[in-house]
Amino acid sequence: MVNKKCIIRLSRYKSALQRLKALGFVKVFSGNLADAAGVTSSQVRKDFSLFGITGNRRGGYSVDELIAKILEILGKNELQRVVLVGAGNIGTALMRYKGFESGGIKIVAAFDIDPEKINRRSELPVLPLEEFADFVKQNSVRVGILAVPDIAAHHVSELMIRSGIMGILNFAPIQLRGADKVIINNINLEVELENLIYFVNAMQKTGQIE
Ligand X SMILES: NC(=O)c1ccc[n+]([C@@H]2O[C@H](COP(=O)([O-])OP(=O)(O)OC[C@H]3O[C@@H](n4cnc5c(N)ncnc54)[C@H](O)[C@@H]3O)[C@@H](O)[C@H]2O)c1
Partner DNA sequence: GAGTATTTGATATTTTTTTCACAACAATTT
Partner DNA sequence: AAATTGTTGTGAAAAAAATATCAAATACTC
Interface residues with ligand X (CB under 6 A)?
Answer: 85-91, 93-94, 97, 99, 111-114, 117, 129, 147-150, 152-153, 155-156, 171-173, 189-190
Q: Which stretch binds DNA (CB under 7 A): 46-54, 106-114, 120-128, 163-171?
A: 46-54
Decide: 28 and 60 in contact? Cβ < 8 Å.
yes
The reply on whether position 60 binds DNA by CB under 7 A is yes
For residues 15 and 201, which CB has a smaller minimum distance to ligand X in the complex?
A: 15
**Among the listed residues 10, 16, 17, 53, the single contact to DNA using CB under 7 A:** 53
Which of 124, 128, 161 is CA-nearest to residue 143?
161
Site of interaction with its own copies (CB under 8 A): 1, 3-4, 7-8, 10-12, 15, 37-38, 73-76, 80, 82, 89-90, 92-94, 96-97, 99-100, 103, 105, 142-143, 145, 166-169, 173-175, 180-181, 183, 185, 187-204, 206-210
As a whole number of angstroms, the distance between CA 54 and CA 61 comes to 8
Smallest separation, CB 48 to ligand X (Å):
27
Smallest separation, CB 123 to its own copies (Å):
16
As a whole number of angstroms, the distance between CA 28 and CA 94 comes to 34
- Own/partner pairs, 5-12, CB within 8 angstroms, 24+ separation: 6/47, 6/50, 7/74, 9/37, 9/39, 9/43, 9/47, 10/47, 10/51, 10/70, 10/73, 10/74, 11/74, 12/37, 12/38, 12/39
The contact set with DNA (CB under 7 A) reads 3, 5-6, 29-31, 39-43, 45-46, 48-49, 53-61
